A and B are shown apart, each in its own frame.
Chain A
């Protein structure tokens, strides 16, 4: 108890203050544990609640959609009100055509921009383009539709499949660019260096070595982008516009599955409502098939990567 000499270790026994604190901690421990338990239960509830809407939506889609699906749905044309039957053959084909136009525009530009982002990493332009493509990605799709209308419909004077495809393709560009950049970024530098050392020129190295190695990942990214634009309705409202008749012309208005679902959903007829559910089911199925293919493409990439 020689507390007179100053430079000595502090007493090991807890001070009064510390003892009071630790007693309080022990006293409140029970309460703190209860609070913790409640909050963890709340987190579990949140997880359940977050998944519930999905289950409901899918349940209703299957319940109400399958009933109206039939062979006619895929082969027949839409019928006027009051006539039974009819299908959405033209809308299904129209959606595929629109996806084709969009891919023809969005894929090359997106992959090219992605290559630039990966190869010119760190330059001012690359950083700007990366930032702006993220911003572009968040742009409301209806704004893209209005842009396409102003750009391609207004000067011509009529709606067209081409305008719809361009609107969708413009939406694809930033998505494809960012995934391409990511996929090209994970190609080992040694591969590029080996090709250059063998006397390949830069552009051949980029296209036939780097891009080819990253191709499975880029295909995945492209399919994900396609899956996302396949269900877009807003950009098509004033561009592709929809069409009750069979049309394959790019210069004419064209039917699309999402547009058809929209106009049937807000119609007052029960028969059209069930067609809307069937159309929604087919649309979701289309998107899922594309996403599944994308998953398999990713898996293929990983398995070849593992084999190396």
Chain B
């Protein structure tokens, strides 16, 4: 009886020790996993906090003006009239100019890198384009003020208006001051170019070789292979990249503030100064004196937040869709 008893005791002790150790490990593991879960939860919490803080602060304005806040173009802090239409219009127009200029260039440089460039040229050119994304917005603004604006004022704007007779379209009329929707659009185009280009390049490099080879084997010229086989394959990914670029352009602040002229008016001509939501915030936020003005600016921030949230969500969804499809196909 003693021997089995003794063994039982020893076993129990060993079992206790192991249990203790396992118990300790379980506590450590539990602390660890709850810690990283907490950190992970910080991301959605942060988004919620931003939406809540800004939404609550902007609510009085949104409630008072309702839908008219988005459509009225009267922005007069002194009278207490707030309509964000010029800023929304400027945001959209400057972003459209940026995309119209940047998208063909970005797709062109990505196609050059994925289809034409010799191997030794690929990395340096890709690196240079990516480098554009590393330049701070304020440096773009500085360069824009002292280099881009003078060039626009003297040869470019008169050339577009008078020499090319584009003044008749209504888009390129009026005095060529320099600070304008056009200037903001051009600087934005340079700024979003690397974002569109890097996504497009990735998507184009993921197009299987067999696509190109099949097209070439059928007798297509190189361009026909690109146009008919490569581009359609990469289309939705490139669209995702463009929308990602749109998200960047919509929220870009400093460079636009320095170049757009900051006038809350809707003008058809791209030579006229304008305003964007981001530049409106940058200009007036620290000078807002009344609660109503502050609340109106918060409402503008909320609108900007919601728009970029939607645009980014769509872009991410598209890019993910493509990467999931291509990984499914290669697997």
Which residues of A does B touch, CB under 8 Å? 25, 32-33, 35-37, 39-40, 42-47, 49-51, 53-54, 56-57, 60-61, 64, 108-113, 115-117, 119-120, 125-126, 128-129, 131-144, 146-147, 149-151, 170, 173-174, 177, 201-204, 206-207, 227-228, 230-234, 237-238, 241, 258, 261-262, 265-266, 273, 276-277, 280, 283-284, 287-288, 291
Residue from the list A36, A143, A203 in contact with B301, Cβ < 8 A? A143
Docked-complex contact A135 and B138, CB < 8 angstroms = no
At the interface with chain A, which of B1-9, B81-89, B277-285?
B277-285
Q: How many A-B residue pairs have CB under 8 A?
A: 265
Extra contacts, 10 of them, besides A109-B42, A133-B43 (Cβ < 8 A), are A139-B312, A141-B251, A142-B253, A143-B308, A146-B54, A147-B49, A177-B40, A202-B28, A202-B29, A283-B139
- Offer 10 A-B interface pairs, CB within 8 angstroms, sorted by A: A44-B116, A111-B39, A115-B39, A136-B46, A233-B136, A233-B138, A261-B138, A265-B258, A287-B134, A291-B134
Q: What's the nearest-Cβ distance from chain B to residue A83, in Å?
A: 22
Residue from the list A108, A142, A284 in contact with B139, Cβ < 8 A? A284
Which residues on the A side are within 8 Å of B42 (C-beta)?
A: 109, 113, 173
Which residues on the B side are within 8 Å of A204 (C-beta)?
A: 28
At the interface with chain A, which of B61-69, B160-168, B169-177, B242-250?
B242-250
Docked-complex contact B298 and A138, CB < 8 angstroms = no
Docked-complex contact B281 and A146, CB < 8 angstroms = yes
Assembly CA distance A284 to B139 (angstroms): 8
Assembly CA distance A6 to B281 (angstroms): 80
Docked-complex contact A146 and B301, CB < 8 angstroms = yes
Which residues on the B side are within 8 Å of A25 (C-beta)?
A: 219
Assembly CA distance A288 to B250 (angstroms): 26
Give the residue name and chain of the A residue nearest to B141 (CB): A265
Residue from the list A37, A47, A136 in contact with B108, Cβ < 8 A? A47
Docked-complex contact A116 and B37, CB < 8 angstroms = yes
Give the residue name and chain of the A residue nearest to B111 (CB): A43
Q: What's the nearest-Cβ distance from chain B to residue A101, in Å?
A: 16
Which residues on the B side are within 8 Å of A233 (C-beta)?
A: 136-138, 253-254
- Asked whether any CB of chain A lies closer than 8 Å to the CB of B10, the reply is no
Docked-complex contact B46 and A173, CB < 8 angstroms = yes
Which residues on the A side are within 8 Å of B29 (C-beta)?
A: 201-203
Docked-complex contact A126 and B223, CB < 8 angstroms = no
Docked-complex contact A60 and B28, CB < 8 angstroms = no
Residue from the list A125, A140, A291 in contact with B308, Cβ < 8 A? A140
Which residues on the B side are within 8 Å of A39 (C-beta)?
A: 223, 226-227
Which residues on the B side are within 8 Å of A113 (C-beta)?
A: 36, 39-40, 42-43
Docked-complex contact A231 and B137, CB < 8 angstroms = yes
Docked-complex contact A146 and B298, CB < 8 angstroms = yes
Which residues on the B side are within 8 Å of A137 (C-beta)?
A: 312
Docked-complex contact A112 and B36, CB < 8 angstroms = yes
Docked-complex contact A136 and B47, CB < 8 angstroms = yes
- Asked whether any CB of chain A lies closer than 8 Å to the CB of B203, the reply is no
Which residues on the B side are within 8 Å of A135 (C-beta)?
A: 47, 309, 312-313, 316
Most chain B CB within a 10 A radius of its CB, from A25, A32, A57, A258: A57
Which residues on the B side are within 8 Å of A241 (C-beta)?
A: 286
Residue from the list A42, A109, A276 in contact with B142, Cβ < 8 A? A276
- Asked whether any CB of chain A lies closer than 8 Å to the CB of B13, the reply is no
Give the residue name and chain of the A residue nearest to B106 (CB): A50
**Chain B residues touching A, range:** 35 or more
Assembly CA distance A173 to B38 (angstroms): 13
Which residues on the A side are within 8 Å of B33 (C-beta)?
A: 202-203
Assembly CA distance A146 to B299 (angstroms): 11
Which residues on the B side are within 8 Å of A237 (C-beta)?
A: 282, 285-286
Which residues on the A side are within 8 Å of B105 (C-beta)?
A: 46, 49-50
Assembly CA distance A221 to B42 (angstroms): 19
Q: What's the nearest-Cβ distance from chain B to residue A82, in Å?
A: 21
Assembly CA distance A54 to B130 (angstroms): 10
Docked-complex contact B125 and A51, CB < 8 angstroms = yes
**Beyond A117-B40, A276-B142, is A40–B116 a contact (Cβ under 8 Å)?**
yes
- Asked whether any CB of chain A lies closer than 8 Å to the CB of B197, the reply is yes
Assembly CA distance A139 to B312 (angstroms): 8
A-B CB proximity, top 4 nearest: A140-B251, A46-B108, A231-B136, A112-B39
Give the residue name and chain of the A residue nearest to B50 (CB): A147
Q: What's the nearest-Cβ distance from chain A to residue B7, in Å?
A: 25
Docked-complex contact B50 and A144, CB < 8 angstroms = yes
Which residues on the B side are within 8 Å of A143 (C-beta)?
A: 50, 54, 251, 301, 304-305, 308
Which residues on the A side are within 8 Å of B129 (C-beta)?
A: 50-51, 54
Docked-complex contact B138 and A262, CB < 8 angstroms = yes
Q: What's the nearest-Cβ distance from chain B to residue A238, in Å?
A: 5
Which residues on the A side are within 8 Å of B143 (C-beta)?
A: 56-57, 60-61
Docked-complex contact A132 and B136, CB < 8 angstroms = no
Docked-complex contact A234 and B254, CB < 8 angstroms = yes
Docked-complex contact B32 and A206, CB < 8 angstroms = yes
Assembly CA distance A109 to B42 (angstroms): 8
**Beyond A142-B253, A143-B50, A265-B141, is A112–B40 a contact (Cβ under 8 Å)?**
yes
Residue from the list A138, A146, A174 in contact with B315, Cβ < 8 A? A138
